[in-house]
């Protein structure tokens, strides 16, 4: 499988592998600040949700700063109706787990 390099490539090529272990699937939702995909964690054989931010001006740090602020806020939350942040994978991706059903 190919390795996705940018959020734009991921949105146009479901089935690509991110970070060597997350096989991207269907789009679960889209908004102003990003797109959420259903993905299969090949290493742990579980399903996760992956949020990516759209490509932006590389000279601007505002989108990635907001993204990591959101990740830090989510990492502090613990509620059965909120997905738990499990890790971040670079400047343009957050990986979530818990509560994603399989195929």
pTM over 0.75: no
Phi and psi at residue 50, to the nearest 5°: -120, 125
Neighbours of 26 (CB within 10 A): 8
Judged by DSSP in three states, 95 sits in strand
41 contacts 50 by C-beta, under 8 angstroms: no
3-state secondary structure 57-88: CCCCCHHHHHHHHHHHHHHCCCCCCCCEEEEE
User: Using one digit for the tens of pLDDT, what is the confidence trace for 41-91?
Assistant: 999 998 988 888 777 666 666 777 888 888 888 888 888 888 788 777 765
> Pairing state of beta strands 46-52 and 34-41?
antiparallel
Overall fold of domain 7-97: Phosphorylase Kinase; domain 1 (3.30.200)
């Amino acid at each position: 499988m190919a390795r996705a390099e940018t959020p734009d490539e991921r949105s146009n090529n479901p089935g690509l592998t991110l970070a060597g272990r997350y096989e991207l699937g269907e789009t679960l939702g889209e908004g102003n600040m990003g797109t959420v995909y259903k993905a299969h964690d090949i290493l742990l054989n579980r399903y996760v949700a992956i949020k990516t931010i759209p490509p932006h001006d590389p000279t601007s740090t505002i989108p990635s700063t907001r993204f990591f602020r959101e990740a830090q806020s989510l990492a502090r939350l613990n509620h059965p109706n909120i997905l738990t942040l499990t890790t971040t994978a670079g400047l343009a991706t957050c990986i979530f787990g818990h509560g994603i059903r399989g195929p």
